[in-house]
Structure 1
């Protein structure tokens, strides 16, 4: 039996604690699959790595912002009336804030949730 692979898009969520320095750490992955009707963000904030870039970083504020990204994926707040693809595009739009999405990449998967876990392990943890 062959497993049917379908396309997905993903972006790494990056924390940039001091935008003027341009240094960043990967803090999560955002994955969207139109065919699977799937949009989710999985995050992991390594506080020691963040503090290495900025000892005064607002860790609690960054955690709150990451939770907001996760809520946006599930339709919380202002994203309630948006379709999944619209939410994904909103989250990956360029911004100059402490959290941003890196470039969008493509892949193939039969199980977006398992693929998201794999990407977080590979690219963030």
Structure 2
């Protein structure tokens, strides 16, 4: 928890200049690995939401909303050391969010536009 507090403090205590932003210095390997993991996780969550929207178009209702909320709550209360479990809960929650949002997008695309 202390790491998170220090990270937030460092984020808001910036003394960055324009040169720092335009730097073309190589990214350290540990930062590159972290970025790759974050973007891979976001890609998986986005794909899961799109797949849920596509597959469960007819399965609307409270089930998908309640299941996604339960999944995100379980994700919140899972320890940070259970990385695979947290990733699974994120993917399941994104899938269910996509399934519940699929009806909204279908409704908007089927509106008779004149």
Category of TM-score, reference length = shorter chain: 0.3 to 0.5
Larger Rg: 2
Q: What TM-score, normalized to structure 1?
A: 0.31
Q: What TM-score, normalized to structure 2?
A: 0.33
Q: Which has the higher contact order (CA 8 A, sep 6+)?
A: 1
